[in-house]
Chain A
Amino acid sequence: AQSVTQLGSHVSVSEGALVLLRCNYSSSVPPYLFWYVQYPNQGLQLLLKYTSAATLVKGINGFEAEFKKSETSFHLTKPSAHMSDAAEYFCAVSDRNFNKFYFGSGTKLNVKP
């Protein structure tokens, strides 16, 4: 089965700084990889999805993620953080062998003024 590792349960950046949230998956190339965002007291919202069409995926709110097969990674980036980006971010992969989704444990992003 897949496992998803998000390095850093808490990340703090200054407003205007680069955001980098890390995600690694464990095994064979998944059919899909996802990043979701969760604002306080809300459900998860899809930020972006990788489907093998392109290794660099652009999402909403200026976020993008790059799929790197050699590194089994799918890191999320944003060039310039905004206060409204403060939220928890989850990486997820789907596993063809088990027909299931697997979520990372989440990274809380804090944006300092």
Chain B
Amino acid sequence: DAGITQSPRHKVTETGTPVTLRCHQTENHRYMYWYRQDPGHGLRLIHYSYGVKDTDKGEVSDGYSVSRSKTEDFLLTLESATSSQTSVYFCAISESRDSPLDTQYFGPGTRLTVL
């Protein structure tokens, strides 16, 4: 158990509203990730972080921003939610402090519905 929590676990919002999802970890892991999961696409990387205030884009970053002001929290913001962002969002951490290539552990997910 990597001590990863996500909040909220479920959210329904309307098109055009901003939404922030929170990922919290308790074990001082350096690398953190946000993925979205959609049927037929597996998991796709949105953004990742390799330290406080150090973030980078993944393969599906358009319409999303992230922030990491503390080691334990990694926030994902949908600046103006669209129906195409209806998905299940997973946060993950890398087991290794020195390498992003090692095992990733996942949070329980946030199910977001944009109407």
Report which A residues bind B (CB closer than 8 A). Answer: 9, 31-32, 34, 36, 41-46, 49, 90, 92, 94-96, 99-101, 103-106
Contacts and interface: CB of A to CB of B under 8 A. Distances in A.
B42 A96 contact: no
Interface string B85-115: 0000010100000001111111111000000
Chain B: interface residue count, which band?
Answer: 20 to 34
Interface of B: 33, 40-45, 58, 90, 92, 100-109
B101 A43 contact: no
Given A44-B90, A100-B45, A106-B42, A49 B103 contact: yes
A42 B109 contact: yes
Nearest to B94: A101
A42 B108 contact: yes
Contact of A101 (B45, B108, B109): B45
Nearest to A42: B108
Contacts of B100: 94, 99-101
A94 B42 contact: no
A105 B101 contact: no
Among A32, A42, A44, the one with the most B-chain Cβ atoms within 10 Å of its Cβ is A44
Contacts of A103: 42-44
Given A43-B106, A45-B106, 10 more contacts: A34-B103, A42-B109, A43-B90, A43-B108, A46-B105, A92-B104, A94-B102, A96-B101, A100-B100, A101-B33
A32 B104 CA distance: 11
A27 to B, nearest CB: 15
A46 B103 contact: yes
Contacts of B105: 46
